Amino acid sequence: MDDLLRRTEALLRRVAAVEIEAASGGAGDVDLLLAQWDRLRTAIAPLDPADLERTRDEVDALLAALDAMAQRLESLRALKQSLSGES
């Protein structure tokens, strides 16, 4: 029984220490962190991983197209500069 009491007290001290660390980091108490975790899990639950992957692929393709456009614009700028004799 004494061992159980010591272990329980040690656990309570550790929980208090975790709450202090979380609060000093701006995260508040453990109950608040758990509530925030539940809200986040609820918010992302309906998101389909396949849809997220397709959207990411579309964004990657758009970024590649924009990069190619930037390179063409830079080529045009360099051509114009060389044709006009500017340095």
Q: Report the pLDDT value the prediction gives residue 78, as an integer from 0 to 100.
A: 95
pLDDT at residue 73 is higher than 80? yes
Q: pTM above the 0.85 mark?
A: no
Decide if pLDDT at 27 tops 70. no
The mean of the pLDDT values for the chain is 86
Q: Which comes out higher in pLDDT, residue 62 or 11?
A: 62
Q: Specify the pLDDT at position 72.
A: 96
Residue 63 token pair: 């970024």
**Is a pLDDT exceeding 80 seen at residue 87?**
no
Q: What percent of the chain has pLDDT over 90?
A: 45
pLDDT tier, 82 (very low <50, low <70, confident <90, very high otherwise):
very high
